[in-house]
Amino acid sequence: MKTLLSGGHVVASGQPDLLAGGDLVIEGTTIAQLGPAGTLSRDDVDRVIDTRGSIVLPGLVNTHQHDWYVYGKGLGGDVLLEQWIAECLVPLKERLTVDDLRVASELAGLDMLRGGTTSSVNHQVNETTIAEEEAILGPVADTGIRQFFAKVIRPHDTGTGYAGALESFEKWDGTAEGRIRVGFVLEATAHWVALGTSSEEMITGGHALAAEKDTFVTSHIAGGTMSREQGYLRWVLETGRTDVQFLHRLGVLDDRWILAHTINPLRNDLDLIAASGSTVAHTPSSEAARGGGITPVKRMLDNGVRVALGTDGPMVDLTNDMLEQIKWTRLLQNQLHQHPSTIDLGKLVTMATEDGARAVRADGHLGRLAPGYAADIAVFDLTTLHAGPSHHPLATFVHATRGADAKHVFVNGEHLLDDGRFTRVDHLHVTELLQRAGDHAKALGRRAGLLPPD
């Protein structure tokens, strides 16, 4: 099957002329050709899609996401992170059912696909059984999205030789035509160490397992408030080290790490992150929603740190929209530095695509529009009432386009969103899914004591 995308503003590394109008050919599961508009042959293609008036990008890569958080939209209240974790997150996560996980996984996958996200890191906060993982990953196979499933490792796993993590890796990694990959969650932030849900042995052993399997690891790092009473600053003062220094001193900080949030880097943290090649997963709307502070992204980039983007999960900020993260990243940095162009527009796109692919060790395969790369592609309409007229495609995309403006989305060459409509599921199925998700959310909220009983 060969498909020609013709006439759009194509964002391809090293080929800025394609923004003036370019063509792209998908053959099978990969990108076969790129060229200026009208230069590629139509003789042997099976379908031509007119992308004039649209911007054509690599599929967006969400490097920090919690799929089941769809159930907590609006339940968090106006409280700081530490209180929100204790009063909202923990009561909900302790009462999740297998069916809850299955419905949430499908809804989150479709929501992200509808917004042009083709890959996400599903960072688990719960230990998961094989049955629970089947509930999470079955819908991934069904929807067609890619997922980098991050399996939790806990201190007690050291006594079993990480048997659970190994079982999950062997069972799921590479399944769904390669669209499911497995990495590990090694929580290393001071809060988790203080709670007894992290240990030095767990981190060093879990990291060695990740190196053996050549996969990624992810952790919440340097987040929360800077309170001396209950926040991150308290633990830094008590332990005498930052989260990043902790990983560095253990000798495990390397390019496998996705450091989620990293809102409050201190001391020599940025130098250590840059030298290690690890990636910060920046989630600006989530951090703003909890009043956690503004991550110093410009300073990170200036310091040579790789920064990718993520949504965190809609229990925090009510959105899975990666376009919001792109826009918020630039606007908050502009505000922080009091300058209107703190981060280059092209760099913002790279953060949401290529840098995310590098974070999950999929560079050379995902994150770019180039021959030989997987045909994970998102096409966004720039001719909407809220976006047009457009003089500068990248500026329009970053500042005016919304996730729902995605017209076409491909994963592995499969056309999963065609002119704004899903190809694997129909409208009735989505309507029924939303109803089921609403029922599950209400029941879970009641079990957790966050909603009144019937």
CATH 2.30.40.10 fits 2-58+375-422, yes or no: yes
2-58+375-422 against 60-359: fold identical:
no
- Residue spans of the chain under pLDDT 50: none
H or E segment to which residue 365 belongs: none
pLDDT at 396: 98
pLDDT, tens digit, 9 for 90 and up, residues 159-178: 999 999 999 999 999 999 99
Neighbours of 251 (CB within 10 A): 9
Contact residues for 19 (Cβ-Cβ < 8 A; gap 6+): 9, 10, 11, 393, 394
Q: Where are the domains of the chain?
A: 2-58+375-422, 60-359
- How much is the pTM? 0.98
pLDDT at 80: 85
Long-range contacts of 417-424 (CB under 8 A, 24+ apart): 417/113, 417/114, 422/110, 422/113, 422/114, 424/142, 424/143, 424/144
Count of H-run helices and E-run strands, the chain: 18, 17
pLDDT at 454: 80
Domain 60-359 architecture: Alpha-Beta Barrel (3.20)
pLDDT at 281: 98
pLDDT, tens digit, 9 for 90 and up, residues 195-222: 788 999 999 999 999 999 999 999 999 9
Compute and round to an integer the Cα radius of gyration of the chain: 21
- How open is the CA angle 356-191-261, to the nearest 5 degrees? 20
Distance CA 352, CA 106 (A): 22
Please say whether the beta carbons of 173 and 216 come within 8 A: no
